[in-house]
Amino acid sequence: MSKEIPYKIYLEENEMPKAWYNLRADMKKKPAPLLNPGTHQPMTAEELSVVFCDELVKQELDNDTKFYEIPEEIRNFYKMYRPAPLVRAYCLEKKLGTPAHIYYKFEGNNTSGSHKLNSAIAQAYYAKKQGLKGVTTETGAGQWGTALSMACSYFDLDCKVFMVKVSYEQKPFRREVMRTYGASVTPSPSETTNVGKKILAEHPGTTGSLGCAISEAVEVAVGTPGYRYVLGSVLNQVLLHQSVIGLETKAALDKYGIKADIVIGCAGGGSNLGGLIAPFMGEKLRGEADYQIIAVEPASCPSLTRGVYAYDFCDTGMVCPLAKMYTLGSDFIPAPNHAGGLRYHGMSSILSELYDQGLMEARSVKQTDVFEAAEMFARVEGILPAPESSHAIRVAIDEALKCKETGEEKNIVFGLTGTGYFDMVAYEKFHDGKMDDYIPTDAELEKFRARLPKVD
């Protein structure tokens, strides 16, 4: 038990997970199914396979199989950048003067700079195995597009990325990384799709949103033979692949007999959080152990803390299936001055259901507070964090400071999802005092809520 805990807990290659864990199998009340937007009936595998690869459709609909073996090709790819270290944040603890023990799982150790590669490589693998020519997708801040470009180039697949216009303009270097890996990148909304033209006509000068870019990518996938659409978050299949984060974290903690008390992750569409918490939540669902689990979201895009639990479109163009989730409304577009990539209007159906059952908490945090935490973390722990990840850092620090008051020696584990080298414009705004904390009013949110689809 009292083995000295190193700064970094590494697993051996042969201790890496050999199967992904499907948390849905342990949920008594399952997440609500995707619905056909026309008929409001559950989407069938046949309908979904027009848009998604066959094996991924199977994973999407499977609420019962507990483990999916990770194919050997994917495990070999993982070995290039995994296992990811679990780091004991000794320096941060010292800086805060807290008796708490803080650990973070660092997923920024690959060229794409985030956890997204864990699912990108799986999705590219299944597309290749199905004999497809290529895939289309959207990207917001750019991490998913980068990860998918890397995965597609590894399996020699074509990759068409629709990038939210504001990011396309603010992050030219992300775009060039994608092109280095052979992807084509189009700013969204664009004139290359019908839905893009329609959105541009209705909202001239729009800086775009993930929801718009999804609509465009789906339109191209469905209309181009040999192509399917892939998505970097929100979907059940993505949370399944990301369970590798949580499984490694749990194995590393177990190696030193450490029991987590609090598990914290940032939440955009919910994939890193869903992956990180999976084995912990599984124990909680099976009544084997208890954990405090906290989702952290930006105050400017507060799906869990201020959204409603309802069926909604996954995209702005309303071409995708309906998902039951905590949502702000599919045409909600967060303030353009919001720097992080956590701009999605909805949330994974799995996490929405768990949150609704009271099995996890959610907090929303202001942008400037997030960057304050990011900067402190960078200075003491050495890693320059992504703004998204820094939402989790903020709450980990807050919880550690609470322990300082109460004297509790809690074990706090959080997901450090990526690095922030491409987010220096946001850091610049913060340093120059030009970052603001726009928080939508209730009246604004009500306006979007009123436009939710009516499903009974």
Binding site for ligand PLP (CB under 6 A): 114, 116, 143-144, 233, 266-273, 341-342, 386, 388-389, 417-418
Amino acid, res. 206: T
- In angstroms, what is the minimal distance from the CB of 48 to ligand PLP? 20
**For ligand PLP, which is the closer residue by CB, 249 or 271?**
271
When the beta carbons of 193 and 300 are compared against ligand PLP, the nearer one is: 300
The residue (of 193 and 352) whose beta carbon lies closer to ligand PLP is: 352
CB of 331 to ligand PLP, least distance (A): 20
Nearer to ligand PLP, 144 or 168 (CB): 144
Least Å distance between CB 144 and ligand PLP?
Answer: 6
Cβ at position 266, least distance to ligand PLP in Å? 5
Q: What is the smallest separation between the CB atom of 251 and ligand PLP, expressed in angstroms?
A: 21
DSSP letter, residue 203: S
Of residues 116 and 241, the one with the C-beta less far from ligand PLP: 116
Give the separation between CA 440 and CA 299, rounded to whole angstroms. Answer: 8
- Whether a cis peptide bond, with omega within 30° of 0, leads into 298 is no
DSSP string, 286-324: TTS---EEEEEEETTS-HHHHSEEEEEESSTTS-SPEEE
CB-nearer residue toward ligand PLP: 116 or 128: 116
d(CA 252, CA 248): 6
Q: Which is nearer to ligand PLP, 384 or 403 (CB)?
A: 384
Q: Which residues contact 57 (CB under 8 A, 6 or more apart)?
A: 45, 48, 49
Closest distance of CB 304 from ligand PLP, Å: 11
Least separation in angstroms between residue 115's CB and ligand PLP is: 7
Give whichever of 113 and 321 is closer to ligand PLP, judged by the CB atom: 113
Nearby residues of 14 by Cβ (< 8 Å), 6 or more positions away: none
Number of CB atoms found within 10 A of residue 44's CB: 12
| Contact present, 418 and 143 (Cβ < 8 Å) | yes
Within 13 Å, how many C-alpha atoms sit on residue 101's CB side? 15
Greatest Cα pair distance, the chain, in angstroms, is: 64
In the bound complex, which residue of the shown chain has the CB atom lying closest to ligand PLP?
418
Structure tokens at 92: 């941060």
The residue among 187 and 232 lying less far from ligand PLP, judged by its C-beta, is: 232
CB of 114 to ligand PLP, least distance (A): 4
Smallest separation (angstroms) from ligand PLP to the CB of 404: 27
CB of 68 to ligand PLP, least distance (A): 19
Q: How far apart are CA 198 and CA 53, in angstroms?
A: 28
Cα angle at 326 between 229 and 171, to 5 degrees? 50
Phi/psi-derived region of residue 120, left when phi > 0, alpha when psi is between -120 and 50, beta in every other case? alpha
Q: Which residue lies nearer to ligand PLP by CB, 269 or 334?
A: 269
Q: What is the DSSP string of 398-440?
A: HHHHHHHHHT---EEEEEE-BB-GGGHHHHHHHHTT-------
- Cα-trace Rg, the chain: 20
